[in-house]
Amino acid sequence: MRTRAFWIGIGIVGFIIAGCATGSAVVSPRFYETNPDAIGVVAIRGDISRGAPENQVDDFFSMELMAKGYRVIERRRVQSILAEQNFQHSDRTSAEGAAEMGRILNVPAVAMLDVHVDGEKVSMTCRIVDTQTAEVIFIGGGRGGSGQRLATVAGAIGGAAAGMQMSDRAAIAGGVLGGTAGHTLSPQAARVVQRAIQEAIKDLPRR
């Protein structure tokens, strides 16, 4: 009985650490007509879309697309081509603007991501747009949580260092509060974001 209880306890702890996630999606009939083989990620927005976190989200999303058999246009190439075309950043979040970017990149479909962190929870949505018609052919959402406040490594370290000047308790608070302004997702936050992405596109048809 003790052994069984021990492993049950380990399983519960592992579930909490890894975080749980749920998701839902809608696939348009047009998706199967377009049948895209390549997708370019043209926009990542939300309250963690700054520097390294944005690149990490892009990497996680690209890995999941590749696992499903899609070719992914490298983000640096996307940004370089759009810069050459002097494409306005404000136009990247509309379906029409995304479709135009896809035509510039010469890909059949493009993806736009929205990622938001609220305390210990993360939510994200993904829209995939047909570049010829500007029609949204797939939309999915994922949500996850860890039971602990999500932070970024740089912010947590900086906040804790500042807090230590006052007291141990203040250091902990400083680490939590500072985490929201860091530059790299903590391992815990990265796992939750990755799980949310997996849930958001789990119903995306495989190639």
How far is residue 87's CA from residue 113's CA, in Å, rounded to a whole number? Answer: 18
pLDDT at 87: 72
Nearest to 206 by CA among 78, 27, 18, 74: 27
Task: Say how far apart CA 37 and CA 70 lie, in whole Å.
Answer: 5
16 to each of 115, 119, 128, 148, how far by Cα in Å? 21, 15, 31, 9
Q: Which CATH class is domain 20-147+187-200?
A: alpha beta
Query: Alpha-carbon dihedral of residues 134, 136, 138, 139, nearest 10 degrees?
Result: 140
**pLDDT by residue, tens only, the chain of 207 residues:** 544 443 334 343 343 344 567 888 999 999 999 999 999 998 888 876 555 688 888 999 999 999 999 999 887 788 787 787 777 665 666 888 888 888 888 999 999 999 887 777 889 999 999 999 999 999 999 988 866 666 654 443 333 333 333 333 333 233 333 333 446 778 888 888 899 999 999 999 999
Q: Where are the domains of the chain?
A: 20-147+187-200, 151-185
pLDDT score for 180: 39
Q: What is the pLDDT of residue 82?
A: 77
Asked whether 166 and 175 are in contact (CB, 8 A), the reply is no
Amino acid identity of 107? V
Rounded Cα–Cα distance for residues 5 and 85 (Å): 61
| pLDDT given for residue 131 in this prediction | 94
Pick from 143, 157, 121, 117: which is nearest to 198 by CA?
143
φ, ψ of residue 106 to 5 degrees: the values are 60, 50
